[in-house]
Amino acid sequence: MPDPIVLAAGLRLPQARAGVRYAREDAGHLGATAARELLARTGLDGSELDEVIVGCVGPPHDQANVARVIALRAGVPRAVPAHTVGRNCASGMQAVTTAATHIEAGRGELFLCLGVEVMSAYPLMFNRKATDFFARLAKTKTLGARLGAFLKFRPAMLAPRIMLVEGLTDPTNGLIMGSTAEVLARDFGIGREEADAFALESHRRAKRAHESGRMAREIVPHVPLGARSGDAALDRDDGVRDDQSLEALAKLRPYFEKPDGIVTVGNACGITDGATAILVTRRSRADALGLTPLATIRSFAWAGCDPARMGLGPVYSSAKALADAGCTLADVGAVEINEAFAAQVLACRKAFASDEFAAKELGAASALGELGPDKLNVNGGAIAVGHPVGATGARLLLTTALELAAGDHELGLATLCIGGGQGGAVVLERSAA
């Protein structure tokens, strides 16, 4: 490629368990903080941007096009347009691939891309009965009619609809995400011990990455809204448990399928808030801006699969992306698969290595290859650092890009499963000096 598309710069804020440190955060502020810092550090004149693209699954109700809110709050000049993209858990990755597609099509060259999610702020809604009640009440004109409408009140109307739960449930098959992981556990014969061990390793690796300073290379400390006097800035992902152990994990009860399921809150990703910002452009433009790119986008792919087995999405999409890039899994040094559930990542690992799966599902002669522990999620994953749904896709790209230099690899693969039965994958290449 003469002038490849690169991730010219990127950073992220620490990811925090929902409702705790970021309980008072909002997507506009969190996204704007990350975007503003990236603009400052790159020294970029905001008016040079062609567009701001933000991935977000649940934009706040008062910020429907949260991208525009973030752009303006980050000080991007008002002449620069902005739009929000959504592909559930891959929204942050979608922001980057949308930018890449625009660049390939010649529609712009410099894009500020973000993934942002504040699950702390997901609302509770009135149920249908309550909504109807209020609607009737509003229509009444006389005192008598009003009293009559009031008398129709029933306690059941107070039961809220929980956006978080409904948002994580696939409306086409009624399965909540955790249950799709249980399907995979049964399909691939994955046991509780195996899943717990994977979860424990995720925490250990994340802890090491934070302690070694590896994570500090992508994280900018953040003082959240609603901080109290004496609080310190958050400078690491707060879902990482220093004291996680197999014993503690074993004590947890299955969360989605009682009593025989294997998915617990300990071996699933947590509900999390976070924001990641990445600057996407052509190599030549990055050079002109005086930026040393983090990585080159070699290829990317989106793929669909069975919604009840959405967790296998990475296998389908990685097969396509690797084929596009003209390389094999063996050529790839660093792989990030989003850890939605330990069982789901373990299922992916088995599917990657299975000739049978390759033949039946991918139409390929042989398996994609082995995903050894030295290659897969070496800095831990979402089970430890959390999964702010709209932000994760961008976070995976940032972590993979930085891992190329940190682990001295030529190629990296960032991939994730997507609720609704999809997968997304991006092959990154270390940028030539």
Report which secondary-structure segment, H or E, holds 310.
Answer: none
**Residue 330 CB-half CA count within 13 A:** 2
Going residue by residue from 64 to 93, which x/- string records binding to other proteins, judged by CB under 8 A? Answer: ---------xxx------------------
Examine residue 288 and tell whether it contacts other proteins (CB under 8 A). no
Examine residue 40 and tell whether it contacts other proteins (CB under 8 A). yes
Examine residue 287 and tell whether it contacts other proteins (CB under 8 A). no
Locate 209 and state its tokens.
């990455």
Examine residue 355 and tell whether it contacts other proteins (CB under 8 A). no
Q: Which residue of the set 56, 89, 113, 305 is catalytic?
A: 89
Q: Is 305 a catalytic residue?
A: no
Q: Choose the binding region for other proteins from 217-225, 297-305, 309-317, 395-403 (rule: CB under 8 A).
A: 217-225
Q: Choose the binding region for other proteins from 126-134, 150-158, 191-199, 221-229 (rule: CB under 8 A).
A: 221-229
Examine residue 41 and tell whether it contacts other proteins (CB under 8 A). yes
- DSSP 3-state assignment of 301? strand
To other proteins, the closest distance from the beta carbon of 233 in angstroms equals: 5
- Answer for the pair 274, 116: CB distance below 8 angstroms, yes or no: yes
Report which residue type is found at 429: E
To other proteins, the closest distance from the beta carbon of 33 in angstroms equals: 7
Locate 261 and state its tokens.
């399921």
To other proteins, the closest distance from the beta carbon of 73 in angstroms equals: 5
Examine residue 217 and tell whether it contacts other proteins (CB under 8 A). no
Rounded to 10°, the helix 192-211/342-353 angle is 100
Tokens 């270390």 found at: 430
Q: Is 89 a catalytic residue?
A: yes
Q: Considering only residues 189, 191, 226, 326, which one is a binding residue for other proteins as defined by CB under 8 A?
A: 226
Examine residue 228 and tell whether it contacts other proteins (CB under 8 A). yes
> What residues between 264 and 283 interact with other proteins by CB under 8 A?
none
Distance CA 247, CA 171 (A): 36
Point out which residues pair with 275 in neighbouring strands. 116
Q: Which is nearer to other proteins, 73 or 161 (CB)?
A: 73
- Answer for the pair 321, 332: CB distance below 8 angstroms, yes or no: no
To other proteins, the closest distance from the beta carbon of 229 in angstroms equals: 6
**Which DSSP state fits 254?**
P
Q: Choose the binding region for other proteins from 32-40, 182-190, 197-205, 240-248 (rule: CB under 8 A).
A: 32-40
To other proteins, the closest distance from the beta carbon of 425 in angstroms equals: 32
Query: DSSP secondary structure string, 19-48?
Result: TTTTTT--HHHHHHHHHHHHHHHHT--GGG
Q: Considering only residues 4, 10, 28, 92, which one is a binding residue for other proteins as defined by CB under 8 A?
A: 28
Query: DSSP secondary structure string, 159-213?
Result: PPEEHHHHHTB-TTT--BHHHHHHHHHHHHT--HHHHHHHHHHHHHHHHHHHHTT
Q: How many CB atoms lie within 10 A of CB 374?
A: 9
Residue 185 CA, distance from chain mean position: 22
Residue 59: φ, ψ to 5°: -60, 145
Q: Is 387 a catalytic residue?
A: yes
Number of residues that bind other proteins (CB under 8 A): 25
Q: Considering only residues 156, 229, 260, 374, which one is a binding residue for other proteins as defined by CB under 8 A?
A: 229
Distance CA 65, CA 50 (A): 17
Point out which residues pair with 84 in neighbouring strands. 54
Q: Considering only residues 20, 23, 36, 369, which one is a binding residue for other proteins as defined by CB under 8 A?
A: 36
To other proteins, the closest distance from the beta carbon of 69 in angstroms equals: 9
Distance CA 419, CA 425 (A): 15
Q: Which is nearer to other proteins, 151 or 232 (CB)?
A: 232
Q: Which is nearer to other proteins, 123 or 372 (CB)?
A: 123
Examine residue 225 and tell whether it contacts other proteins (CB under 8 A). yes
Q: Which residue of the set 29, 102, 387, 409 is catalytic?
A: 387
Locate 404 and state its tokens.
């190329």
Which active-site residues does the annotation give? 89, 387, 417
The binding site for other proteins (CB under 8 A) comprises: 28-29, 32-33, 36-37, 40-41, 43, 45, 73-75, 221, 223, 225-233, 235
